[in-house]
């Protein structure tokens, strides 16, 4: 006698199913726009770095998986208890959706690769050329090939079926008493194809960024301590020198005072800018971690509950419906989060140089780069008596020091230790290794071709 498949199964109401279906499409559209902007920017930019190429791979994989997320409520298998109200698919379309969902695990792996890139370039001072030669090609090959191979194997073994906790299709077991073929091995297959890679990526991201946070925190504190010590030594030296000058010539001491003040100010200003850049490195990395956790946390929780057959427990809808709604909002939208973080430094740079332009223009400038020219207007500023067009034109022409930052010096040291952070000036090179296209400062030393280069 065949045991019935469901004694109890939580299925959202039709209104909830429609809301979830619409939310997934809206989030997917935003994600596609964000990922497409990253792809366009990287492909049309002459400078190619490991950071940009990793983001390019992340965005391409996100586009493929996002299309699958958007189609899940519609082309999944219909006629089943867990089918959504607008589903019109069949077994073949369900298998296709499962393959796209399997390919979507590449986003987890690319997030782990990005965290490893930040840790390698900041903590260990790995040069970009070294990183690209030793690690990058294997990163792309492993992620893409693993995602494609597992997707093809899943289709060939016919293990992609409708989820009990819908919408969508992925590795799913057979009904009770109907176990045949590889469907009897659904749970171990799911762990191999999705569970283990997801957990490894999750903990890799957390551990790498925790190590990065500790390193940046210790480095900043040590640098500040050295800066204060250096300032104290310089102050003592100036006081001693001032007393000697006063003993020799008590009348003319103005030059010595001005020199002392200027030296102290330059030390503090340079130190402050360096620490701000170091903090910006960590902030950019942690934003990617936050976006990753926010996007996939709800799916991880839902899959864990689905693995324990929580949806077959009476009253489970109280918890599963909010989780399903949050998953519908955040799972497809990672591409938008990545774009906001990727273009954030570029937007800040454009705002510094073209503050008279609108926010929409600044956003377009961040994406399109130099293809967006400042919009000239004839509005007169009553305070400065200068036209907005004049100020915009002046802002669009970087100073000589800014140009020097944007063009790396040919005589720059090539040792990997140059990327380490200390108070002697190498802190700028470290930031250049990990900053995700952050705005350059005039006091920063030229860096090798890293993702900090100007896009203007």
Alpha carbon separation from 406 to 52, 121, 390, 446, 453 (Å, rounded): 17, 20, 24, 7, 6
Residue 435 scores a pLDDT above 70? no
**Are the CB atoms for 209 and 115 separated by under 8 Å?**
yes
Express each pLDDT in 2-34 by its tens digit. Answer: 344 555 677 888 999 999 999 999 999 999 999
Chain segment 183-229, per-residue pLDDT in tens: 778 888 989 998 899 999 999 999 999 898 888 888 777 766 776 77
CA distance 44 to 370: 11
Q: How confident is residue 445, by pLDDT bands cut at 50, 70 and 90?
A: very low
The pLDDT confidence band at residue 45, using thresholds 50, 70 and 90, is confident
Please give the structure tokens belonging to residue 94: 């369900």
Mean pLDDT of all residues in 304-308: 76
pTM of the model: 0.73
Dihedral of the alpha carbons of 68, 69, 74, 78, in degrees to the nearest 10: 90
Q: Is the CB of residue 277 less than 8 Å from the CB of residue 441?
A: yes
Burial 143-165, CB ≥16 within 10 A → b, else e? bbebbeebbeebbeeebbbbbbb
Tell me the two tokens of residue 272: 């402050």
Going by pLDDT thresholds of 50, 70 and 90, the confidence category of residue 74 is very high
pLDDT at 425: 37
Instruction: Look at residues 155, 104, 106, 149 and name the one whose alpha carbon lies nearest to residue 327.
Output: 104
220-225 own/partner pairs: CB under 8 Å, 24+ apart: 220/275, 220/278, 220/279, 222/422, 222/423, 223/271, 223/274, 223/275, 223/278, 223/421, 223/422, 223/423, 223/427, 224/271, 224/275
Q: What is the DSSP letter of 161?
A: E
138 pLDDT above the threshold of 50: yes
Measure the CA–CA gap between 292 and 288, rounded to whole angstroms: 6
Q: Which helix (H) or strand (E) holds 326?
A: helix 317-330
Angstrom distances, CA of residue 91 to CA of 87, 152, 159: 12, 16, 11
Residue 158 DSSP SS3? coil
Give CA–CA dist 373/354, Å, rounded: 10
- pLDDT tens digit sequence for 388-422: 445 545 444 544 433 333 333 333 333 334 444 43
| Cα within 13 Å of Cα(366), Cβ side | 28
Q: Determine phi and psi for 242, rounding to 5 degrees.
A: -65, -40
- Closest to 224 measured CA to CA, from 258, 268, 194, 158: 268
Domains of the chain: 14-222+270-349 (1.20.1070.10), 357-434 (no CATH)
Percentage of the residues of the chain whose pLDDT score is greater than 90: 34
What is the band of 243 on the pLDDT scale with cuts at 50, 70, 90? Answer: low
Across the range 150-162, mean pLDDT stands at 91
- What local confidence, expressed as pLDDT, does residue 274 receive? 61
What letter would DSSP give residue 374? Answer: P
In which band, very low, low, confident or very high, does the pLDDT at 385 lie, cut at 50, 70 and 90?
very low
In this structure, the strands spanning 160-162 and 169-171 are: antiparallel
Q: Which of 96, 79, 78, 95 is nearest to 87 (CA)?
A: 78
Q: What is the mean pLDDT of residues 357-370?
A: 87
What whole-number distance in Å separates Cα of residue 427 and Cα of residue 278? 7
Give CA separation, 92 vs 46, 76, 159, 160, in Å.
Answer: 42, 9, 12, 10
């Amino acid at each position: 006698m065949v045991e019935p498949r469901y004694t109890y199964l939580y299925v959202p109401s039709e209104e909830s199913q429609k809301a979830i279906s619409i939310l997934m499409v809206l989030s997917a559209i935003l994600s596609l726009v964000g990922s497409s902007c990253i792809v366009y920017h990287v492909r049309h930019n002459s400078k190619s770095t490991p950071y940009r190429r990793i983001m390019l791979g992340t965005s391409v994989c996100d586009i493929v998986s996002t299309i699958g997320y958007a189609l899940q409520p519609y082309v999944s298998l219909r006629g089943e208890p867990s089918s959504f109200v607008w589903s019109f698919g069949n077994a073949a379309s369900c298998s296709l959706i499962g393959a796209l969902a399997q390919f979507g695990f590449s986003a987890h792996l690319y997030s782990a690769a990005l965290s490893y890139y930040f840790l390698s370039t900041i903590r260990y001072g790995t040069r970009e050329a070294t990183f690209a030669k030793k690690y990058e090609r294997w990163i792309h090959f492993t992620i893409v090939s693993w995602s494609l191979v597992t997707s093809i194997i899943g289709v060939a073994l016919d293990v992609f079926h409708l989820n009990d906790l819908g919408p969508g299709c992925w590795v799913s077991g057979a009904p009770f008493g109907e176990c045949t073929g590889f469907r009897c091995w659904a749970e171990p297959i799911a762990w191999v194809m999705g569970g283990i890679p997801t957990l490894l990526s999750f903990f890799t991201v957390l551990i790498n960024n925790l190590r990065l946070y500790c390193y940046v925190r210790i480095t900043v504190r040590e640098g500040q301590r050295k800066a204060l010590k250096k300032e104290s030594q310089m102050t003592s030296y100036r006081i001693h020198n001032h007393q000697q000058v006063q003993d020799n010539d008590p009348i003319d001491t103005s030059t010595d005072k001005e020199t002392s003040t200027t030296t102290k100010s330059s030390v503090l200003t340079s130190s402050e800018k360096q620490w701000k850049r170091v903090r910006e490195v960590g902030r950019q990395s942690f934003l990617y971690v936050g976006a990753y956790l926010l996007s996939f946390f709800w799916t991880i929780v839902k899959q864990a509950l689905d693995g324990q057959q929580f949806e077959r427990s009476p009253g489970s809808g109280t918890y599963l419906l909010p989780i399903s709604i949050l998953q519908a909002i955040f799972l497809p939208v990672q591409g938008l989060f990545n774009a906001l973080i990727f273009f954030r430094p570029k937007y800040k740079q454009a705002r510094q140089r073209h503050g008279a332009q609108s926010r929409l223009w600044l956003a377009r400038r961040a994406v399109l780069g130099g293809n967006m020219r400042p919009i000239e207007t004839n509005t007169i500023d009553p305070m400065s008596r200068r036209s907005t067009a004049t100020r915009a034109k002046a802002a669009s022409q970087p100073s000589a020091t800014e140009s020097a930052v944007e063009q790396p010096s040919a005589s720059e040291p090539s040792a990997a230790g140059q990327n380490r952070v200390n108070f002697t000036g190498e802190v700028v090179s470290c930031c250049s290794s990990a900053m995700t296209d952050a705005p350059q400062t005039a006091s920063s030393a030229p860096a090798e071709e890293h993702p900090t280069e100007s896009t203007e």
